[in-house]
Amino acid sequence: SLVPPTPGPLAVAELLRVNMGVMIAGGCIVGAICAAAGYLFALYINSRITIPLRETAGSTVEELKQLSARDERDLPPLWLALLPILLPVVFITGHEILAAEWKPYVAADPTGWHAQVLNITGTLGHKNISLLIAAAIAVGTVVWKCRISRDQLAKVIEECVLDAGTIILITAAGGAFGGVLQHTGIAGRIADLTPHDQTWLLPIAFLVTAAIRTAQGSATVAMLTAGGVFQALVISPTTPLAFHPVYLALAIGCGSKVLPWMNDSGFWVITRMSGMREQETLRTQTPMLVVMGCTGVVVTMLGAWLFPLV
């Protein structure tokens, strides 16, 4: 919900014209605090609710109990498992940092080695290229550790591409809905609600995103819709924002966490893979994400107030 290159924050950053490196840095900071709040809530709820170990779609209770060190050795090393996730973040953020630091050198010598290095990091740090490299590493890891045949690999990739197609359609629908709402002039009406203190735009963006997320279930659609609604405040504002638009993007990301329930596909993934009942997920995961989202928007408001970055 907060850190590109996942689809929601990536699209919102582009809609609100937030530098990708800034979005990643801000998302990591706010996300770390949200994760800490979620972990503390998990400790609390674990002391209040006892949920037994149950069979899941992929394994029985006996199989879970019989996991051994031999099974763990069949898994890829931790650094390799994390590499497809971390590599795009490192490439994108690294290029943005170098571009900011070396800007005077490139301006003085556009053909010098600084410019040549930035061309390379710019290619690697492009969101599509970095994600393609990460995907290739993930596929290579599967082939290496699972020793699957070419036909099996083709089947796995086919299933993933079909899932990606669904995500693309959902993303497009959310963007279109946000564009329709933008043309209603709703952004100007929202801005008029906070003429004296624009910091209150952040909880409004949070609540709008949370309402859309609760109503239709998809966090990505909620972020894209809210991003389209608030885009006018950044692109053609009647009054310039009193803080960096990254805070608006982060508030939207925090709002997309709130109130997952039965209309959310992620709710069912967690329920089925953990072996929990629906009521147990509603009593554990749902309030945990509410705590994380509310913590995030409070931190975002404090950041916009103390460090507006404008």
> 287 CB contacts (<8 Å, ≥6 apart)?
41, 45
Q: Is 307 left (phi over 0), alpha (psi -120 to 50) or beta?
A: beta
Q: Which regions of the chain are under pLDDT 70?
A: 57-59, 64, 67-72, 167, 170-171, 174-175, 178, 181-182, 185-188, 190-197, 237-238
Q: How many C-beta atoms surround the C-beta of residue 134 within 10 A?
A: 19
| pLDDT tens, residue by residue, 203-252 | 999 999 999 888 888 888 889 888 888 888 887 766 788 899 999 999 99
Q: Closest Cα partner for 131 from 243, 240, 5?
A: 5
CA 167/CA 115 separation, integer angstroms: 36
pLDDT for the residue 144: 87
pLDDT for the residue 27: 95
| pLDDT tens, residue by residue, 104-137 | 888 888 889 989 999 999 999 888 899 899 999 9
97-120: b (≥16 Cβ within 10 Å) or e: ebbeebeeebeeeeeeebbeebee
pLDDT for the residue 29: 95
